[in-house]
Structure 1
Amino acid sequence: MLNTLILGIFTFVQLNCENLFDCVHDSLKQDTEYTAESPRHWNTRKYWQKLRNISKEILSCSQENEDGITVIPDLVALCEIENDTVMHYLSQRSLLRNARYRYVMTESPDLRGIDVALLYSPMTFKLLNSYSLRISPPKGMRPTRDILYASGRVVSGDTLHIFVVHAPSRFSGKHATVPYRMTVMQRLMQSVDSIRSLHYNPKIIISGDFNDETRDESVQHLIANGMTDVSYEVKGSNGAKGTYKYMGQWSSIDHILISEGMKPLFRRCIINDQSFLLEDDTKFNGKKPFRTYQGYKYLGGFSDHLPLVASFDIEY
C-alpha cells in the first residue's frame, strides 16, 4: 500500500509590536518613557489593553488549512518587546493563553531595553536550540539589539533555522546609519554561513524590522548571499502598500527572507491589513496602521507596523 502524502500549512508571522513595555522601571535601562510618571502616562490599564491588542493581532494572522479549518500561526517573530515578563504575560495571560505558545527571546544591551522574541507552537515546532548573537558596535554606534537564533524540528522531520532581527534605526539619518545596519547584516550572514557549512541546503528563515527596504544595501547584502525576500512588494487587501507608513508614504521595512532550501515549500506572503488594524489617515488620505500612540497622544491601537504573514507547505 502506497503512503499518501498529506500537505498542511505552516504559518510564519513577523510583527513589530511598537514598544510593548510593562509599567515597571528597570534601573539599568532608559525605559522611564513607559511609566506612569512620564508624559505618556503609561499605566496598567494601557499595558493590558496593549497585550490584548497584540494577541488579537497575532490571532488575526491565522490561516485556513486544506480541510477548511482555521489554524493559528506556528511561529511569530516579534520586535520591540521589553523583557521576559512581557512575553510571559503575552503568552500566558492574554487571548493567546489557550494557544499554548512558548517563547524564546534575547536580553540585549539596547539602551532602551527592547528586544526580539519568537513565539512558537510546541505542537508544530519542537525547539532544538536557541541563543543570541551579540553585535560588536563600530565606533559611533550605540549598543543595539541582539539577533535571536532558534532552530526546531517540524512535523515533516525537517529542521528550520530561524533568525529574528531588529536593525538599528535611521534616527541619525539614513546614510549616516547605513554602516550600523550593515554591521548587523554581516554578523547575521556569518551565522548563516556557519549553518550552511554544517548542513546541506538548510531551511532558513530570516525576519524582522530592518529599518531598510529591499532595495537598500543591508537587505541587498542578504539577497546577494543567497537569501530571497518573499515579502518584496507584497500588499494588503485593504489598501496597505507596505508594513509601515510615515508622512503619508507606505514603506516595507519589515521583511521575511528564506533560503534556497525553503523555496520549494513557499506558498505566499501577505500583509495583514484587516480593517480593525487600520484607521483613517486624515492628514495624507487613505489608511494607516492604528497605532498605540501618535506622538504623546494615546490612541489605544495596535502597532505602527502591520504584520507580515508567510505560508509554507508542510508534509505530514
Structure 2
Amino acid sequence: MSTKIMLFVLLLTNIYAARSQDKKYAIRTIAFYNLENLFDTINDPTINDEASPMMELKYNRSAVYWDKIEKLASTIAQIGLEKSKTSPAIIGVAEVENRSVLEDLVKSKHLLKNNYGIIHYDSPDKRGIDVALLYQKKYFNPVFHEVFNPNIYRGNRKVFTRDQLLVSGYLDDEFIHLIVNHWPSRSGGEAKSRPLREKAAYQNVKIIKKIREKDADAKIILMGDFNDDPINASFKKVLKPKRKKKNVGKNDLYNPYENMYRKGFNTLAYRDNLNLFDMLLISAGLVDGGEKDFSSYKMFQAKIFNKRFLSDSKGKYKGYPFRSFSNGGYTGGYSDHYPVYIYLIREEL
C-alpha cells in the first residue's frame, strides 16, 4: 500500500472516530431491587404479616421503618446515576407489603423530585409480600398492566406465591414490556423446591407468548429475584436464554448475568453460598447483536449495584449484602440483596 493511500485511510479512520465521539446518546437505567421485607408497622388481619421481621420487633418499629425507607430510597437514587445522571427510569421491586410503603418510599427526599408512579397489585402470598413497578413519569408512560399467578400446586395443595406483574408502555416513544418476578423460595431445599420455580418460569414463557402473539418483534425485559442462579433448570430448560449476544435469535432471550455468575459475582449470600438470583433478561429487540446499532434503545451494559456501603463491613458476614434484619433485630442495613440494572441507550438525532 502506498504512503498516500495509507494516509488517506488513516484520515478516514480519524474522521469516523471523531464523529463517533461527537454522537450523543439518551441513557435510561432499568433496575430491579429486592427490598427485604419492606413492611409497615400496622397489623393487617388479612395476611400473616406478624411473621415479618418488622412486626417481630418489640421496640422502635416506627423509627426502624423510616430509617429503612430512607436507606432504600437513598440507594435507589444512586442506581445508574453515574451514566444516566438520574435514578432509574424504571425499577421493579420485590418484598413489599402494600402500596402504602411504596408511596412512602417515592415520597422520600431522595426520590420525590423524580415524580415516580407506582404499579402495584396485592398478591396471594400468605405473608402478603408483593412485587411492583416504579417509574419516572417523564420517561415512561404505562398503557397496560396485568398480573398472572403461576398457579403452582404441591400435590393437591396450592402454593400461594407472588404474582408476576406485566407492564407495557412507552419508554420515551418506544413500546416495551416489563415482567417483574419473585419466584418461590428454596425453603425445604433447592432440589425439593426446584419444580416450583420451573413452573414459575413456565408462566413467564406463557406471558411472553401472549405478548408476541400481538407483537412478534416485542421488546421485552424480564426482571426479578428468581431464587435460582443462571445455570439452574428454570433458566436452562424452561426459559432457555442465551449466554452470548451473538447466539441470540429472533425469539430468544439474552441473559447478561450468566457470565457474571460464572466469574463469581453474586447478588446475595446465604450460609456461605454465593448466589446470583437477581437478574434482568432481555429479548432480541434490545440486543445490539455486535453491530453497535443504537438507532433505537438497546442494552449497553448490565451491572450489579454492589457499592461498599451496601455490604456488611465486619463480623462473620463481612462482604455479604448488609441486610436489614437478623436474629429478630434491626441491623441498620439495607437489604439482603444487591440491586441489579441495565443501561439502555440510543443515539440522539
Quick check: TM above 0.5? yes
Which residue of the other structure, out of 316, 319, 328, is the alignment partner of 1:283? 316
TM-score, structure 2 length as denominator? 0.82
How many angstroms apart in 1 are the aligned matches of 2:104 and 2:316? 36
Question: Partner of 1:32: helix, strand, or coil?
Answer: helix
Instruction: Report what 2:265 is aligned to.
Output: 241
Query: 2:215 is matched with which residue: 184, 199, 207?
Result: 199
Name the residue aligned to 2:105. Answer: 90
1:315 shift after superposition: 4.6
Structure 2 residue identity aligned to 1:191:
I
Which one of the candidate residues 192, 208, 220 is aligned to 1:176? 192
**Paired residue for 1:149?**
166
- Which structure has the bigger radius of gyration? 2
Cα deviation, 1:197-238, whole Å, max 9, x if unaligned, reads 211311000000010000101122212572111222438xxx
**1:149 counterpart letter in structure 2:** L
2:305 paired residue number:
272
Is 2:50 aligned against 1:32? yes
Root-mean-square deviation over aligned CA pairs:
2.2
Identity of aligned residues (%): 28
Alignment match, 2:245: none
Change (3 A) 1:37 1:117: closer
Q: Is the 8 A contact 1:55 1:90 kept in 2?
A: yes
The code of the aligned residue for 1:205 comes to I
On the 8 A contact 1:162/1:206 being kept in 2, the answer is yes
Paired position in structure 2 for 1:305: 337
Equivalent residue letter for 1:241: F
What secondary structure does 1:90 align onto?
helix
List, as ranges, runs of 4+ consecutive aligned residues in structure 1 with deviation greater than 6 Å. Answer: none
Range 143-152 or range 181-190, more displaced: 181-190
User: Superposition pairs for residues 71-220 of structure 1, below 5 Å?
Assistant: 71-138=86-153, 139=155, 140-155=157-172, 157-220=173-236
Deviation of 1:42 after TM superposition, in Å, equals 6.3
Shift of 1:295: 2.4
SS for the counterpart of 2:159 is: coil
Alpha-carbon separation, structure 2, partners of 1:35 and 1:287: 22
CA distance in 1, matches of 2:314, 2:252: 38
TM-score of the pair, normalised by structure 1: 0.90
- Residues 106-153 of structure 1 deviation map (CA, whole Å, 9 limit, x = unaligned): 211100000001110111111111111122122344211000010111
- Counterpart CA distance in 2 for 1:31 and 1:83 is 11
Q: Structure 1: where are the runs of 5+ without partners?
A: none
CA distance in 2, matches of 1:14, 1:77: 5
Secondary structure of the residue aligned to 1:27 is: coil
The number of equivalent residue pairs is 305
Aligned residue for 1:184, secondary structure, equals helix
- 1:170 is displaced (CA, Å) by 0.6
Counterparts of 1:296 and 1:218, CA distance in 2:
32
Match of 2:70 among 39, 48, 52: 52
Q: CA deviation at 1:31?
A: 0.5
Name the stretch that deviates more: 219-228 or 95-104: 219-228
Q: Which residue of 2 aligns with 1:260?
A: 284
Structure 2: runs of 5+ lacking an equivalent: 1-21, 242-250, 289-297
1:120 maps to a residue whose letter is: Y
Q: Is the 8 A contact 2:27 2:345 kept in 1?
A: yes
Task: State the distance in 1 between where 2:286 and 2:69 align.
Answer: 32
Q: Does the 8 A contact of 1:240 with 1:287 survive in 2?
A: no
Counterpart residue type for residue 276 of structure 2: S
* Aligned-partner Cα distance in 2 for 1:240–1:305: 16
- TM superposition shift of 1:36: 7.3
Deviations 1:34-54 (A, max 9, x none): 487635646111000110011
